[in-house]
Chains A and B, each alone.
Chain A
Amino acid sequence: MSKEQKEAQAVMKQHMGLKASQRLSNTIVYIILIIMSIIWLVPFVAIVLQSFRNETNAAGELVTWRVSYWLPKKWGIENYRSLFVDTSFPRWYLNTFIIALVQCVVQTIIVLCMAYTLSRFRFKSRGKLMRFMMILGLFPGMLTMLILYRVLSDLNMTGEHAVPGLILVYVASSGMGYYVSKGFFDTIPKALDEAARVDGATRFQVLYKIILPLAKPIVIYTILTAFMAPWGDFVFAAYIAHAKEAGMNVAVGLNSWLDKDHIVKYYTRFCAGGVMVAVPVSILFMCLQKYYVEGVTGGAVKG
């Protein structure tokens, strides 16, 4: 065998080795991904299973408490029926939905105003303003709960009337969350604004004829996050609702079922309620996932 042939063979071998090793590594990756997917799905499968538990124990009581086995012995939708008929859940659901709806309109408008202004205008106090907002953001927001509660209770916006109070506070502080959108706006070339202004557009026309159409992903991202946030907000909503059922959102309400006094009676209904919240929200999320990803990555990259 000549030297060249030997070399060629060695290269071939290496090549084969490469392929084999790649196959091996891909198999490992598949195994990891499958295990991960199982871990990720298990809790959600479990909660769905629990929510359909419709069994009675030896004493003839409906099993509404936590059990240590996975599969229901008897299936049924009793938990869902009871959730909507016997509890304040529909009220909570409506409360949350109203908040989310208002929030996704108003917050989007406010965030876009802030982001557009801070991205496009170079006014005198711009730098100071942004620095000030950054410092403000370093304070734990929870600190202000106490006083906001007192102010809202003076305005009669706590307890049963917590919904307008919550909306007011969410809306008022939504300007703080402009970073992601501003990061996105910054990537739209300024020359477009200038061209439009030379073409005869006012600043306002520049915003809604040029910037907004181009910023569609971030607009949808803002709407989506604004809509989703109220479904998960817990601390502040609990504080404002002040243990009044009529003023709770789903998070506060469902959480209240898990304390020592309620869990025995309400555990399975908690699961059903969780499913009722999770399904529509996650479907919405999955539909708009593309925009969410764009927003998240854009925001992280721009800081």
Chain B
Amino acid sequence: MKKIDGLEYLKLSKWNKFVYRFLSFFAAIPGKLLNLCKGIGKAVVKFFTGIGRSLQDIVTTFVHGDWKTKLSYLFMGFGNIARGQVLRGILFLLFEIVFIFYMITTGGYWLSKLPSLGTVETHTEMVKEQGRFGMVEVAKTVPGDDSFKILLYGVLTLFFVVAFIYTWRANIKQNKIAEQILKTGKPLKSGRDDLRSLVDDNFHRTLLALPLTGILVFTVMPIFFMILVAFTNYDFEHDGLNHLFHWNGLAGFKEMLSWNSGGVKYSAAFGEILTWTLIWAFFATFTNYFLGIFVAMMINKKGIKFKKLWRTVLVLTIAIPQFISLLFVSQMFAKNGIVNGALMDLGIISEAIDWWGSPTLARIMVIIINIWIGIPYLMLIATGILMNIPADLYESCRIDGASGWKQFSKITLPYMLFITGPYLLTSFTGNMNNFNVIYLLTGGGPTNTALSGTSDVGHTDLLITWLFKLTTGSNQKYYLASVVGILVFIVVAIITLVVYNVLPSVKNEEDFQ
């Protein structure tokens, strides 16, 4: 399409402007994708050239280094100790000893089993035993390999190996730097200097050490592990202990995404649930957003009294743990719950409504109850932002002759959207993964009979609750849960990328400053 420059664009009619922007947004997508691919490609190239340069550096350091450096290639930290940096040296050496000990005792075993995920099934064997009356044959269960443990500890060992290589590299770098410093005639940092720098120069390392270790062990490694699970056949039957599971390539993805996988229609379930997840996230985000702003504006309206009271009442839904409010509300709307009771007493309805029984009604109900939960947050956020909008913007707008609605649509809303752009994005992706509201209100129900055999998929199930059902239901399909998790990640990542590219607060940060 033709590019129009700034001034020409201004001459277009409103409709044409919209069409132009619409088209140019989509026209830009291929280019952006290309850029993304290029970026990824560059990163990969950079990664490998980095490794190459490291290797080169390792070799040259060895060739040009003195004997202390050379010995450090075998005994980590030797150079440090020989040059008087005892503390560093001992730490290096200790790490090496621990690593070697671990690899010999257990690590090697796990690594060697990792490619097969175990070969020996748990089985019964006839064993000759010394009975009371001589030798008898007894059936005995012999524990085989545990695929789960092999995968788990294999991954752990892999991480450990990577950490070791990294440390080894650092050890070599240290030697090189130490040699250079000594050449210039300056003294090296002593152990005391190192310790002192931990609260000053290197304070960031101290501060990050603990949190990052936690994240590495309890977030990064599990995610890495679960990604690997998607490429196995780990499920209820093949639980690893009683029956081994194996690497299974992309079979899990195939089962989830292909339309002709036979008996169980996972692909159909996936399509349906993804659609509802997106619809839900859209409504949950934007109803809350606009109603929240609306309520905030009402409360902050000139001449409205008891502002604090209104706010406090609404904030109750934040203060009270969601599981109480949501579970109770779900009970209120039960078929013989108090809502139906009240409505019948008042004569509004003659027969109890099955709020959670029909798919459409249940879906509408979760969205409405989510509004009840969500408005207060938005009200708080919007109040904060509304107060920050410079009053002179409104004053000049009024002098220019704008009505109340114009003031809202030309100043309040753009300002809000600009400031809360990133928040909208995170709240959209957060709603996609909003386990609590769905699970506590409907548990995913009512059951979708057209999709039987797919772990009781219901009409209000989100991908995340489905994932939960796949791992906890009666017929656990762990590898499918893992596949769903990866697909959720991909969907969320795509949305995030696209939105970040359109978001004004990212593109022109200074607009409203």
- Chains A, B in direct contact (C-beta < 8 Å): yes
Q: Footprint of B on A, CB under 8 Å?
A: 22, 25-26, 29-30, 32-33, 36-37, 39-41, 43-44, 46-47, 66-70, 110, 113-114, 116-117, 121, 123, 133, 135-136, 138-148, 150-151, 168-169, 171-176, 202-204, 228, 231-232, 234-235, 239, 251, 254-255, 258, 267, 270-271, 274, 277-278, 281-282, 285-286, 289, 292-294, 296-298, 300-301, 303
Give the docked Cα–Cα distance between A175 and B220 (Å).
12
Q: Hey, what's the 0/1 contact readout for B384-398 against A, CB within 8 Å counting as 1?
A: 110010000000000
Q: Which residues of A contact B328 (CB under 8 A)?
A: 43, 46-47, 271, 274
Query: Which A residues are in CB contact (< 8 Å) with B312?
Result: 286, 289
Q: Give the distance to chain A from B242, nearest Cβ to Cβ, in Å.
A: 15
CB pair B342 A144 closer than 8 Å: no
Q: Is the CB of A69 within 8 A of B341?
A: yes
Partner of B310 from the list A37, A44, A293 (CB cut-off 8 Å) is: A37
> Distance (Å) between the CB of A154 and the closest chain B CB?
8
Bound: A81/B468 CA distance, A: 35
Q: Looking at A46, A68, A281, which has the most chain B CB atoms within 10 Å of its CB?
A: A68
Q: In this assembly, does B7 line the interface, its C-beta being within 8 Å of a C-beta of chain A?
A: no
Stretch at the interface among B88-96, B101-109, B267-275, B313-321: B313-321
Q: Which residue of A lies closest to B492 (CB)?
A: A138
**Interface-facing stretch out of B177-185, B199-207, B245-253:** B199-207
Please measure, in the bound complex, the distance between the C-alpha atom of A67 and the C-alpha atom of B226, giving whole angstroms. 44
Interface pairs A-B: 10 shortest CB-CB: A297-B384, A68-B341, A303-B422, A175-B211, A172-B214, A144-B222, A172-B218, A282-B319, A232-B321, A285-B319
Shortest distance from the beta carbon of B211 to any chain A beta carbon, whole Å: 3
Contact B433 A68 (CB under 8 A): no
Contact B383 A255 (CB under 8 A): no
Can you add 5 more A-B contacts, CB < 8 Å, to A68-B337, A142-B468, A175-B212?
A41-B316, A113-B210, A143-B226, A175-B211, A277-B324
Residue B419 is within 8 A (CB to CB) of chain A in the complex: yes
CB B239 to nearest CB in A, in angstroms, measures: 11
Q: A46-B332, A47-B324 are in contact. Are A146 and B219 (CB under 8 A)?
A: no
Chain A residue numbers with a CB within 8 Å of B372 are: 39-40
B190 contacts A by Cβ under 8 Å:
no
B472: chain A residues within 8 A (beta carbon): 239
- In the bound complex, do residue A22 and residue B303 qualify as a contact, i.e. CB atoms below 8 Å apart? yes
Known: A39-B372, A40-B372. A258 touches B331 (CB 8 A): yes
Q: Kindly identify which residue among B302, B467, B493 contacts A135, using a CB–CB cutoff of 8 Å.
A: B493
Q: Are the CB atoms of B341 and A30 closer together than 8 Å?
A: no
Q: How many residues of B contact A (CB 8 A)?
A: 95
Contact of B152 with A by CB under 8 A: yes
Interface contact A143-B467, CB-CB below 8 Å? yes
Most buried by B among A66, A139, A150, A172: A139
Contact B301 A147 (CB under 8 A): no
CA distance A258 to B327 in the complex (A): 8
| Nearest-CB residue, chain A, relative to B308 | A289
Question: Is there contact, CB below 8 Å, between B301 and A26?
Answer: yes
A44-B316, A251-B321 known; A139+B485 contact, CB < 8 A? yes
Query: How far apart sit A145 and B297, CA to CA, in the bound complex (Å)?
Result: 41
Interface segment among B134-142, B434-442, B447-455: the answer is B434-442
A232 nearest CB across to chain B (Å)? 4
Mask, B472-495, CB within 8 Å of A = 1, is 100000100110010011001100
Interface residues of B in 287-308 (CB under 8 A from A): 295, 298-299, 301-304
Contact of A138 with B489 in the complex, beta carbons under 8 Å? yes
**Residues of chain B contacted by A231 (CB below 8 angstroms):** 321
Count contacts between A and B, CB distance < 8 Å: 251
B478 to A, closest residue via Cβ: A146
B217 CB within 8 Å of chain A: yes
Contact B439 A235 (CB under 8 A): yes
Q: How far is the CA of A286 from the CA of B311 in the complex (A)?
A: 11
**A29 engages B319 (CB within 8 Å):** no
Q: Once the chains bind, are A175 and B380 in contact (CB under 8 Å)?
A: no
What is the bound-complex CA distance between A297 and B226, given in angstroms?
Answer: 35
Known: A68-B338, A285-B318, A297-B384. A143 touches B485 (CB 8 A): yes
- Contact status of A69 and B338, CB under 8 A, knowing A40-B316, A169-B218, A289-B315: yes
* A169 to B219 Cα, complex, angstroms: 9
CB-contact partner of B440 in A37, A140, A234, A274, under 8 A: A234
A293 to B383, CA, bound (A): 9
Q: Cβ of A176 and Cβ of B215 under 8 Å apart?
A: yes
Are A282 and B341 neighbours in the complex by a CB distance under 8 Å? no
Residue of chain B at shortest CB distance from A296: B380
Contact B485 A66 (CB under 8 A): no
B86 at the A interface (CB under 8 A): no
State how many angstroms separate the Cβ of B512 from the closest Cβ of chain A. 11
B429 within 8 Å of A (CB atoms):
yes
Which residue in chain A gives the minimum CB-CB distance to B345?
A: A69
A292 to B209, CA, bound (A): 28
CA separation between A250 and B485, bound complex, in Å?
28
The answer to whether A301 touches B223 (Cβ under 8 A) is no
Knowing A40-B314, A110-B210, say if A140 contacts B464 (CB, 8 Å). Answer: yes
The complex places the Cα of A135 from the Cα of B500 at a distance, in Å, of: 13
Question: Would you call B75 an interface residue if the criterion is a C-beta within 8 Å of the partner chain's C-beta atoms?
Answer: no
Query: How many Å from the CB of B97 to the closest CB on chain A?
Result: 25
Bound CA–CA A144/B220 (angstroms)? 9
B336 touches A175 (CB 8 A): no
The chain B residue sitting closest to A136, CB to CB, is: B219
Instruction: Report Cα–Cα, A56/B492, bound state, in Å.
Output: 53
- Say whether, besides A110-B211, A144-B226, A151-B152, A255 and B218 are in contact (CB < 8 Å): no
Q: Are B211 and A174 in contact, with the CB atoms below 8 A?
A: yes
Q: B439 to chain A: which residues have CB within 8 Å?
A: 234-235
Q: Looking at the assembled complex, report how far the CB atom of A106 sits from the nearest CB atom of chain B, in whole angstroms.
A: 10
Show 17 A/B contacts (Cβ-Cβ < 8 Å), sorted by A: A26-B303, A26-B304, A32-B298, A37-B313, A40-B313, A66-B331, A67-B341, A117-B204, A138-B493, A143-B467, A144-B223, A150-B152, A174-B214, A175-B212, A175-B215, A255-B323, A277-B321
Instruction: Kindly list chain B residues whose C-beta atoms are within 8 Å of the C-beta of A169.
Output: 218
